[in-house]
Amino acid sequence: MITYVEKKYRDNPITQNILKQYPNASVLLISNYKNIFDKPLAKWVEKSMIIAGVKNAISEAPKWYGHEGYGFFFKNSLNCIYDCSYCYLRGSFRNNTTVFFVNYEEIQKQIAEKITQVRKKDPDTPIWFYSSDYSDNLATDSLTQFTQNFIPFFEWFDNVKMEIRTKSINIARLLEYQNIRNTEIAFSLNPSEIIQTYEHFTPALDARITAIEKLIEQWYQVWIRFMPLIETKDYKNIYKQFLLYVSEKIDFSKIYSVFIGWLLYTKRDYTTLLKKDPQLDILYTLEDSRDGYYREKQEVREYFYTLFDKYITETECNRCLEE
């Protein structure tokens, strides 16, 4: 494997931690990660990874994305070690090399500045920072030490929260903390049939449920995101059986919040994904909503709403990206 490292971050402790775990990788020093990342990689190129710094880590989340209040994404990594067929990241970048941004102090400075900016005009409304929109931070935590750097950082603020969205069961590090107020772990769940067909290399449903149980026992505010709900063959039966199963296994009265959401792409991402993977059957179930997005059909969404309201009764099922 080749590891490209921006010269400026060669001695960064996170860089050193990552390199330590790949003692046989060839390390190539580079001046700017974009020189590699912004070019399509030829098929014959060896598997590689990039360690770099990011200048603008924060971007605004769309309205209705998550909780009420101000919402921002922050990026500390690009591309994911998992390979979900439906992932919008497959259409987002010129190549699929994983990039780790290790300039945590700078990212945290940008987050703190954003909080100050918002607080000047609005002292009370909650502010949410969504991590893991460009990767799965928990899955790579042993490399990036993300949780030990960002969970304590967010504890400094009032009414400011970080969401770590994940399919990973890599929770050992999380279990070391106690009394954390400002981090929520949002597990993404889907039926086993969907996981096996479309969520390649991700942990099985039962393993995710076990991780959820452990975190709840410990102290964590756990979210569940039933996303993306997919109109696969026999989906009505598959999702019904799935909800019967999870509502027996998980005590939803202890779940902090539940969101449901479906496949949704911008026109650009949809077209790119379709070009990359014309065999991907679920893309053909979506409709052009004429508001710039491709999403599940209205009747399918209605079916999911009714089903979730019927089986998840202990807590409200919030709808993601829908008024």
Give me the residues that bind ligand SF4 (CB under 6 A), please. Answer: 80, 82-84, 87, 89, 135-136, 167
Please identify, using beta-carbon distances, which residue of 160 and 189 lies nearer to ligand SF4: 189
* C-alpha–C-alpha distance, residues 78 and 98, integer Å: 6
Least CB distance to ligand SF4 at residue 274 (A): 17
Is the distance from CB of 182 to CB of 154 less than 8 angstroms? yes
Please identify, using beta-carbon distances, which residue of 67 and 90 lies nearer to ligand SF4: 90
Least CB distance to ligand SF4 at residue 296 (A): 16
Please identify, using beta-carbon distances, which residue of 12 and 98 lies nearer to ligand SF4: 98
3-state secondary structure of 198: helix
Least CB distance to ligand SF4 at residue 59 (A): 16
Cis preceding linkage at 278, omega within 30: no
Least CB distance to ligand SF4 at residue 206 (A): 18
Is the distance from CB of 33 to CB of 59 less than 8 angstroms? no
Contacts by residues 274-282 (CB-CB < 8 Å, ≥ 24 positions apart)? 276/90, 276/91, 277/85, 277/90, 280/85, 280/86, 281/232, 282/85, 282/86, 282/198, 282/230, 282/231, 282/232
Is the distance from CB of 239 to CB of 229 less than 8 angstroms? yes
Please identify, using beta-carbon distances, which residue of 6 and 163 lies nearer to ligand SF4: 163
3-state secondary structure of 68: coil
Any idea which residue has 């603008």 for tokens? 56
Please identify, using beta-carbon distances, which residue of 82 and 259 lies nearer to ligand SF4: 82
Please identify, using beta-carbon distances, which residue of 12 and 261 lies nearer to ligand SF4: 261
* C-alpha–C-alpha distance, residues 196 and 202, integer Å: 9
Please identify, using beta-carbon distances, which residue of 146 and 311 lies nearer to ligand SF4: 146
Least CB distance to ligand SF4 at residue 160 (A): 24
Closest CA to 19 of 105, 149, 143, 150: 143
Least CB distance to ligand SF4 at residue 135 (A): 6
* C-alpha–C-alpha distance, residues 315 and 156, integer Å: 29
Least CB distance to ligand SF4 at residue 314 (A): 26
